Structure 1
Amino acid sequence: MRKYVTLYGMFIKNCLIAQMEFRSNFMMSLLVESVYLLAKLLYVLVVFRTDLHVDGIPPEGLLLFLGMHTVVTGIYMGMFFTNFTNISEYIKDGRLDLMLTKPVSLQFMASLRYVDLALPIPDIVVGLVMIGIGWHAMDIPLTLLQLGGFMLLLLVAVVITYCLMIIPALLSFWFVQTGSASEMAHSAWDANNFPMAIYPTWIRRIGTFVIPLFLITNFGPMFLLGQLDWLHVGLALVGSLLLLSIIRLIWKQAVRGYSSASS
C-alpha cells in the first residue's frame, strides 16, 4: 500500500509540473469548468425561487444534495475522467502493451495515471460552500461523529463513482465503440443531483440496490438530516467494497481476453 501511495503522489507531482508548463491551459480549464458550474447553479436559483420542498426537505436542505453532487463531480473530473477516457485509446493504439510490462497493477496504472488539478477546483470549492450553507441552515450539529460519518460516506461515494463510471471503459476490451455507453453513464450522472425521493419507488430501488448510483449523492446528506443510521452507513461501506471487488474481477477477466495491438 505504501508503494502505491508513493506512486500516486508521483503521478500528482508529474501532472502538476506538466500543467504548470502550460499555465494558460490550466487557467482555461478553470474558466471552462467555472462556466459549466454556473449553469449547474441555476438549479439552486430555481430551488430557492420556487421554494421547492422534496420529501419534506426545504431548499436549504436540498443544498446538501446539490453540494454533495458537485463535490463528487469535481473529484470524478479530477481523478477519473481523463483516465477512463484514455483506456479505450490505450487498447486501440497498443499503449496498454507497454503498461503490462510495469511492475505495478495494470488497473492502477491505466485508471489513475493522470490527475487533472484544474477541473475539480471550482466544483469542490463551490460544492463545499453549498454543503456548509445547508449544514448551518438546517441546524445540524458540527460534531466529530457527524463529520466522520459524512466523510466516510463521501469516501463511499468516490469508490462507487469509480466503479460505475469505469464500466464504459471496460467495455472497450470487447467492443470498438463505447461512446454511447459513456454518454448514457454521464446522463444518468447528471440526473442524480437531487434527492432520490423525486423518482418512483421502482427507480429508487434500482438506483440503490442494482446500480447504486443514488448512494453517491443521497447517503451523505441523508445521514446529516437524520434519515440514515450507522447500520446503513456500514452497509453502504461494505456494498462499495463489494462493488470494487466485482469491478476488479471484471478487469482481470477483460485483461485475460485482451489481444495485443501488435499481434
Structure 2
Amino acid sequence: MVKIARKYALLYGMFIKNCLIAQMEFRGNFVMSLLVESVYLLAKLLYVLVVFRTDLHVDGIPPEGLLLFIGMHTVATGIYVGLFFTNFMKIPEYIKDGSLDLMLTKPVSLQFMASLRYVDLALPIPDILVGFVMVGIGWHAMDIPLSFMQLAGFALLLVVSVVITYCIMIIPALLSFWFVQTGSVSEIAHSVWDANNFPMAIYPAWVRRIGTFVIPLFLITNFGPMFLLGQLSWLYAGLALAGSLLLFAAVRLLWKQAVRGYSSASS
C-alpha cells in the first residue's frame, strides 16, 4: 500500500513538474492568467467591503467571522481551479476524440490519469494566498486561539473540503460517458458553487439538509469556519471525514461503472 502511494505521489510530482515547464514556456499566458484571476478576486474583495460597510451579521456571526467563510470559499475555489477544473473539462473531450483509449493502455489508474493529469499553477495563486489571508484576519479578529487542536481541526476539514470538491465537481464529467452534452450540468454545478461562500444559516432548513447530507456542498466551505467558531465539535469533524471518504468510494464505483460501459471512439 505504501509502495503504491509512493508511486502515485512521484507520478503526480512529475505531472506538476511537466505542467510548470509547459506554462513557463509561455510566460505571457501565465502572467495574463494571474492578472485575470486577480481582477476576479478584486471583485470578490469589493463584495467583502460591502459586508463590512453594512455591518452584516448572519446567525449572530459578525463581518469579521464572515471573513472565515468567504476566505475558505476563496481557498477552495483556488484549489478547484488549480487541481481539478482543467482535468474535469477535458474528460468529455477524451471520450469524444478517443484519447481515453490511449489512457486505458497505461499501467496506472485511468481515473488518476484522466482527472489529475493537469495542474494550473497560475490561476490558484491569487485565490489561495488572499483566501488564507482573509481566514487569518478573521481568525485574529474573532480572538480564536492559535492552538495545535484548532490548526489540526481546520487542516482536517480542509482535506475534507478538497475530497468533497473532487467528488462533487467530477460528476458532470462522469455523465459525459452516457450523455453527449453535459455543459449545462457543469454550469449548474458552478453556479451552485458560487452560492456557497456564506454561512449555510442563510438558507432554509431543507436546503441545509440537502447541502449537508445529500449533496454535501456545505461541508466544503462551512465546516472549517464553523469548527473555528466553536459551532462544530470534533465528533462532527470526524463524521465529515468519514462521509468524504464514503463519497469518494461512491464516485470511484461510479467511475468504474462508467468505464465498463465505455465504447471506444474507434469502434
Hey, what's the Cα distance between the residues in 1 that align with 2:49 and 2:265?
50
Which amino acid in the other structure matches residue 240 of structure 1?
A: S
| Of 222, 228, 241, the match for 2:226 | 222
Residue by residue over 1:131-185, the C-alpha shift from the partner in whole angstroms, topping out at 9 and shown as x without a partner, is 0000000000001110010000000000000000000000000000000000000
Helix, strand or coil for the counterpart of 2:60?
coil
What amino acid does structure 2 have at the position aligned with 1:30?
L
1:68 maps to which of 65, 72, 81 = 72
1:110 aligns with 2:114: yes
How many pairs does the alignment contain?
263
Q: 2:254 aligns with which of 239, 250, 260?
A: 250
Equivalent residue in structure 1 for 2:179, among 170, 175, 187: 175
What code does the residue aligned with 1:80 have?
Answer: F
Partner amino acid for 2:195?
A
Distance 1:235 1:107 in 2: 26
**Which of 83, 86, 89 pairs up with 1:85?**
89
Structure 1 runs (4+) greater than 6 angstroms displaced: none
Find the aligned partners of 2:40 and 2:113 in 1 and give their Cα distance: 29
2:206 matched to 1:202? yes
- Aligned-pair distance for 1:204? 0.4
What SS does the corresponding residue of 2:222 show, helix, strand or coil?
helix
Unmatched segments (≥5 aa) in structure 1 = none
Secondary structure of 2:48's aligned partner:
helix
Aligned to 2:105: 101
CA distance in 1, matches of 2:159, 2:31: 28
Which of 236, 241, 244 is the matching residue for 1:240? 244
Distance in structure 1 (CA, Å) of the matches to 2:44 and 2:8: 35
Displacement after TM superposition at 1:42 (Å): 2.2
Residue 25 of structure 1 corresponds to 29
TM-score (norm 2): 0.98
Determine which of 131, 134, 139 is the counterpart of 2:138: 134
RMSD of aligned residue pairs (Cα, Å) = 0.4
Amino acid at match of 1:167: I
**Identity value in percent:** 86
Question: In structure 2, what is the Cα distance between the partners aligned to 1:36 and 1:136?
Answer: 26
Deviations 1:101-151 (A, max 9, x none): 000000000000000000000000000000000000000000111001000
The corresponding residue for 2:44 is 40
